Chain A
C-alpha cells in the first residue's frame, strides 16, 4: 500500500516535471526555429524601412543599448549606497529585514506603473516629451531592487572573520567598506547588474509612453524631445499586425535579436552566480 502510494506520487511528480520540461523545450525550440533563420548580419546593421515593418533593426538595437546603459548608470550608485548602508550601518537585524522587505516589494512593482509614473513626471511635470533619458531613468528605477538585493546578499555573506580582522587592525567603518566589503561583494553587484540589464532590455511598458517611438528616431540629439527606437516596443507594435507573412518574418527576427541580447546577459551572469553560491554555501 505504501509502496503504491510511493509509486503513484513519484509518477505524479515526474509527470509534472516532464510537462514543465516539455513546455520549455517547445517554447525554446519554437523560438529558435522561427527566429534563428530570419536573422543575419544585414538585419542587425540595417535601419528599418517602410514605417518600421521592413529592413533591419539597427536603431532599435542601438536604442535598447542606450536605454539599458542609462538604466545601469542610474541604478548602480543607489544599489551600492543602500546595500552598504543596510549591511554596515544598520546594526539591528529587524532594521535590515525591513529594508529587505521593502526592496522585495519594490521589486514586484508592475512595469506599467513605471510607465504611468514616467508619463506623469517627465511628460506632464517636466514637459520633456519623449526622452531616452526618461526611459533610462525609469528602467533604472525598475532594476534597482534587483541590483540592491543581489549586492546586499553578498554583503551579508562576507565571513565575519574578515570584518573582525579588519576592525582589529584599527580600520574605521568607511575604510572597511572600501578595503573589505566592496571587493568581496562586487561580484554580487555585477551578477545583479547583469540580471537587471537582461530584464531592462526586454521591458516595453516603462518606455511605452515616454521614451520610445516606432519609427523615425535614430541617434538621440539631446535630452528632451529625443526619443529612441527600442526592440521590445518595435515587437509590441508589430505584434498587433502579425497577419502579413512578410511582416511575420521580420517580427520573428526582431524577437530573436531581443532574445539574443537577453540571453547574453543571462548566460554571462550564470557562471558568476554559481561561483558565488558555491562560495556562500561551502566556502
Chain B
C-alpha cells in the first residue's frame, strides 16, 4: 500500500486499468466464446452430450462421456503414481537433504518441469509404448497405446510439480516448530509426521490439485500414446483392466484431426467447442480448489508460491 496522495486522473493509473481490463476481457471472452459457439450442440443433444456414450459425428451423435472418463482416468492414474513418489521426494528435499544440496536439487527439478510436452511425447512414443505393452501383458492390450500408457507418461510429467510445490509447502512450516519438537525429544521422522506434515497439509493437497490440473490439461504428450480410440466406455469403471485399452481424452480429441473436419460444420464445431468448455470448467475448478487451499501464501508478500503448468516457478521464497 502506498501512503501517497492518490491521483484520480493519473495516466499511469488509466493505462494500468485499461490493460488489466483488456486482459480480463480476453480471458472472459475465451470462456464466453466457448459457451456461445457450443450452443448448437446443447440445443441438439442437451444433457445427453455429457451422459452419452457414443460419439459418431457422421450420424450427428455426440456423447462426450467416454472422453471425460478418459481424461479423468489418465489423470487419476498419473496422480496415483506421482503422489507417493512426489510427496516422499518433497519430504526428502525439504527435511532431509543437506542445505548445500538444495540448490542443485531445486534446479534439477525445475529443469525437468520445463521440458516441453512434445519431448515427453517423443519419449513416450519411442520408449514407453513398447515397455507398457510388455508390462500390461496380463491384461492383453492390443498395442502399447493405452490409457495406462498415458497415465504413466503424465505421472512422470507432473512429478516435478508435486515435488517442488510439496517442498514449498513443507518449507512453509516455521523452523521454530521443528526445533521445538526436536527439543521435546521427537525423532526426525516423528517431527515430520506429527509436526511438519499436518501443518503443511493444505499446501500439500494444493500441490496435488495443481499437479492434477496440469495433468487434466495436457494434450500433446498424451495424444501420441493413448490410441485415440473413441467410445471406449469400460464395463467396469474401476477395474485396472479397463486402463489397458486405448482411449480418448477431451484434450486428445480437441488436438486431433476432427477439429479440422468440424471447422465448417456448425453442429460438429459446436460439439468440439463444447468439449473445450467442459475441459475449461473442469481444470478451472481444480485449479481454483488448489489455489484456494494454498491460500495462506497468497496473502503474504514474498511468500507467494507461483506454480505454472510448465512447472516454471517464478517465486521460491524458501530456497
**CA–CA, A88 and B284, complex, Å:** 27
Q: Which residue of B lies closest to A81 (CB)?
A: B19
Q: Which residue of B lies closest to A9 (CB)?
A: B189
Q: Which residue of A lies closest to B216 (CB)?
A: A110
- A sample of 17 inter-chain contacts (CB < 8 A) reads A6-B190, A20-B89, A78-B23, A80-B19, A105-B291, A107-B308, A108-B214, A109-B284, A113-B30, A113-B279, A171-B4, A174-B7, A174-B10, A202-B118, A209-B259, A235-B118, A240-B125
Contact A176 to B4, CB < 8 A, known contacts A78-B20, A255-B119: yes
Q: Mark A129-165, 1 if CB is under 8 A from B, else 0.
A: 0000000000001001110011011001100000110
**CA–CA, A232 and B159, complex, Å:** 22
Instruction: List B241-290 residues whose CB lies under 8 Å from chain A.
Output: 251, 254-255, 259-260, 263, 272-273, 276, 279-280, 283-284, 286-288
| Count of residues in B whose CB is under 8 Å from the partner chain | 112
Say what secondary structure dominates the interface of chain A. helix
| Binding-face segment, B46-54, B133-141, B229-237, B309-317 | B309-317
Q: Are A30 and B123 in contact (CB under 8 A)?
A: yes
**For residue A3, which residues in chain B have a CB less than 8 angstroms away from its CB?**
187
Q: Are B251 and A149 in contact (CB under 8 A)?
A: no
**For residue A97, which residues in chain B have a CB less than 8 angstroms away from its CB?**
295, 298-299
Q: Mark A182-225, 1 if CB is under 8 A from B, else 0.
A: 00000010011001101101111100110000000000000000
Contact A13 to B310, CB < 8 A, known contacts A108-B214, A242-B126: no
Contact A2 to B187, CB < 8 A, known contacts A27-B112, A266-B114: yes
**For residue B319, which residues in chain A have a CB less than 8 angstroms away from its CB?**
274, 277-278, 281
Instruction: List A1-55 residues whose CB lies under 8 Å from chain B.
Output: 2-3, 5-10, 12-17, 19-21, 23-24, 27-28, 30-31
**For residue B314, which residues in chain A have a CB less than 8 angstroms away from its CB?**
146, 149-150, 153, 188, 191-192, 195, 273
Contact A13 to B88, CB < 8 A, known contacts A85-B17, A112-B255, A240-B224: yes
Q: Are A113 and B103 in contact (CB under 8 A)?
A: no
At the interface, yes or no: A244 with Cβ under 8 Å from chain B?
no
**For residue B121, which residues in chain A have a CB less than 8 angstroms away from its CB?**
236, 239
**CA–CA, A119 and B255, complex, Å:** 12
Q: Given B127, B214, B315, which contacts A149 in the complex, CB threshold below 8 Å?
A: B315
At the interface, yes or no: B6 with Cβ under 8 Å from chain A?
yes
Q: Which residue of A lies closest to B214 (CB)?
A: A108
**CA–CA, A19 and B273, complex, Å:** 40
